[in-house]
């Protein structure tokens, strides 16, 4: 499947979640993937960035900025999505193919683009009813 997870001890994956191939997860800052998360091929997640605001050297110094990534339950992530350090994706969100997430995603949001923007929202009442009835794919 060609999946790279840099520090396997720093990732938590909930029941029913799946990750497709050609994915790279840099987990030094920790990644939490909730329950029943569906992830397309080519996902890239970073939890560490360079300190580009350094007053010691350019383009950055040797300080690592570490921030965890959290993907809540029932999220659907399309193919070739990029997620930067510190992003939290809310429950039931849909992330469109090729999106670049640079900020938090609200629950039930449908995101797309680079940088990703809110394109719409899932019907939270329908979502809650299906979740309560355990109609999970």
Which residues are annotated as catalytic?
A: 50
Measured distance CA(2)–CA(25) in Å, rounded: 11
The DSSP code sequence of 82-98 is: EE-TT-EE-TT-EE-TT
Q: Which two tokens stand for residue 75?
A: 């999220």
Longest dimension (CA), the chain: 56
**Exposure of 23 in the CB half-sphere (CA atoms within 13 A):** 20
Name the 3-class secondary structure at 46.
strand
């Amino acid at each position: 499947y060609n999946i790279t997870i840099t520090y396997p001890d720093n990732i938590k994956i909930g029941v029913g979640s799946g990750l497709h191939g050609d994915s790279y997860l840099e987990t030094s800052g920790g990644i939490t993937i909730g329950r029943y998360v569906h992830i397309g091929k080519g996902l890239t997640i970073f939890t560490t960035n360079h300190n580009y605001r350094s007053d010691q050297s350019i383009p950055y110094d040797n300080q690592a900025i570490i921030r965890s990534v959290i993907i809540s339950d029932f999220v659907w992530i399309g193919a070739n999505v990029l997620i930067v350090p510190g992003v939290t994706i809310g429950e039931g969100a849909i992330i469109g193919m090729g999106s670049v997430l640079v900020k938090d995603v609200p629950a039930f949001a449908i995101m797309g683009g680079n940088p990703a923007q809110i394109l719409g929202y899932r019907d939270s009442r329908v979502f809650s009813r299906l979740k309560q009835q355990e109609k999970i794919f």
